Structure 1
Amino acid sequence: MQAVLFDMDGVLVDSEDYWVRFEREEILPAAVPHADVDLAEISGMNYREIYDYLEDEYGTEITREEFVDRFVATAEEIYGERVTLLDGLGNLLAELEDRGASTALVSSSPHDWIGVVLERFGLEGEFDRVISADDIDAASKPAPDVFEFAADELGVAAADCVVVEDSENGIAAGARAGASVVAYRIDAHGDIDRSPADAVVDSPAALRASVLERIE
């Protein structure tokens, strides 16, 4: 393996804990009050794509503008004030660099939100590439497009990459890209399907060990 592709939400920062609560308690009751939506359906999607999905599958009862405004306001609070960083991330990135592995942050979040995280935790310049789903005109997770794009940006084959993901759609996307997938189990997602992953871990220490094992 020559590169590691890290998802941001739920992996690098614990934002999924807050997003899941927001989606379950605020945005879904407002947008589709008549539907019982499984959060796994929309996990890993860009928020604009979430609206399209809900509109197509269930029909929405709020406008796109109101939907987007709620997400943007919530993102400012979550990333700017609430999230904490994955324990030991700095050391892991340093070890990967020492071993000659390339790294990319690959997220469905827009660059503005990613930028808040990078600046707040001093991570600017720590990844070889920072890629948002907004960078490509392609299908969102669980389609493999964003990981294939990230691998291409790093100059390696997707099959030579380790993908670290937490969501069901993200895990499926990494597997479909042909990467080796390390699934990071978090409480926010509950009992989702992690079967496409090559390994499932549930702590920062186990995540580090699993990633480094694959790079070796």
Structure 2
Amino acid sequence: MLNNIKAAIFDLDGTLVDSMGIWEKIDIEFLKERGLQVPSDLRDHIEHLSFIDTAKYFKDRFNLNETVEEIMAEWNNMANYEYSNTITLKPGAKEYLNCLKAKGIKLALATSNSHPLLEAVLKNNGVFEYFDSITTTIEVDKGKNHPDIYLLSAKKMNVSPDNCIVFEDIYPAVLGAKAAGMTVAAIYDIYSEHQKEDIIKTADYFIYEYKELIEAC
């Protein structure tokens, strides 16, 4: 799995940390305050978008009076406590990061989340300093269903795409990482259960827990 791999690029939410339930809760509370319900197709429309593009989507779809900046600020405020105090790494994730570091493999984060929240959760779990580069989708023109964020992440580390492995949990992101010419390891997350068959067919590897990787590291 790690043959010829010089860099590992990790998604954050649903891949490194158990946080997708927090965002489902935020969506419900945010819309409820405005007398709205969460549409059944909402997650499919926003899961690959950047933080700012998700705010733009909400503003347009729900005809909100708030500015995009105000929407993002409200989300950050709603999520800040959880990311700073309660959200944990997925079981075995830190041990696997240590294993990769011991092998001299560079580590990167590629996420749609905001920098304040990613920094808060990584520092609270003692792994912020592990990463050689951090890239968010706000730095590129397209979402994670395109290769842009993964290619930029590799470029920051001066590593060729074919020497990178990407860890993701959602189908659109698996497609984007594959389009970047990288090896893709899909990590199971309950919130991507409905995409599981497509993920397994597309990714190079499918893992339920990091302990499966630690044993072979």
- Aligned equivalent of 1:198: 204
SS in 1 for 2:49: coil
Q: Distance in 2 between matches of 1:94 and 1:54?
A: 38
Q: Distance in 2 between matches of 1:132 and 1:41?
A: 18
For residue 94 of structure 1, the aligned residue among 91, 98, 110 is: 98
- Aligned equivalent of 1:158: 161
- Contact map agreement 2:95 2:214 (CA 8 A) in 1: no
1:110 paired to 2:108: no
- Comparing 177-186 with 58-67, greater Cα deviation is found at 58-67
Report 1:1-216 matches (<5 A). 1-23=5-27, 25-28=28-31, 30=34, 33=37, 36-55=40-59, 58-63=61-66, 64-134=68-138, 136-192=139-195, 193-194=198-199, 195-208=201-214, 212=217
Structure 2: state its 5+ residue gaps: none
SS in 1 for 2:202: coil
Distance of aligned partners of 1:34 and 1:6 in 2 relative to their CA distance in 1, 3 Å threshold? closer
SS in 2 for 1:143: coil
Distance of aligned partners of 1:156 and 1:34 in 2 relative to their CA distance in 1, 3 Å threshold? closer
- Contact map agreement 2:59 2:65 (CA 8 A) in 1: no
Shift, 1:85, TM fit: 1.4
Amino acid at match of 1:172: L
Distance of aligned partners of 1:205 and 1:80 in 2 relative to their CA distance in 1, 3 Å threshold? same
Structure 1: state its 5+ residue gaps: none
Over residues 3-50 of structure 1, what are the superposed CA-to-partner deviations in whole Å (9 max), with x where a residue is unaligned? 110111111111112112322x23355497595434122114222211
- Contact map agreement 1:133 1:146 (CA 8 A) in 2: yes
Amino acid at match of 1:196: T
SS in 2 for 1:105: strand
Shift, 1:76, TM fit: 0.4
Shift, 1:196, TM fit: 2.3
Amino acid at match of 1:110: S
SS in 1 for 2:113: coil
SS in 1 for 2:130: coil
SS in 2 for 1:190: helix
- Contact map agreement 1:27 1:67 (CA 8 A) in 2: no
Over residues 62-104 of structure 1, what are the superposed CA-to-partner deviations in whole Å (9 max), with x where a residue is unaligned? 4235422331112202201221112223322222123221111
- Contact map agreement 1:20 1:188 (CA 8 A) in 2: no
The alignment of Structure 1 onto Structure 2 pairs a total of residues equal to 208
Distance of aligned partners of 1:62 and 1:47 in 2 relative to their CA distance in 1, 3 Å threshold? farther
- Contact map agreement 1:166 1:186 (CA 8 A) in 2: yes
Distance of aligned partners of 1:184 and 1:2 in 2 relative to their CA distance in 1, 3 Å threshold? same
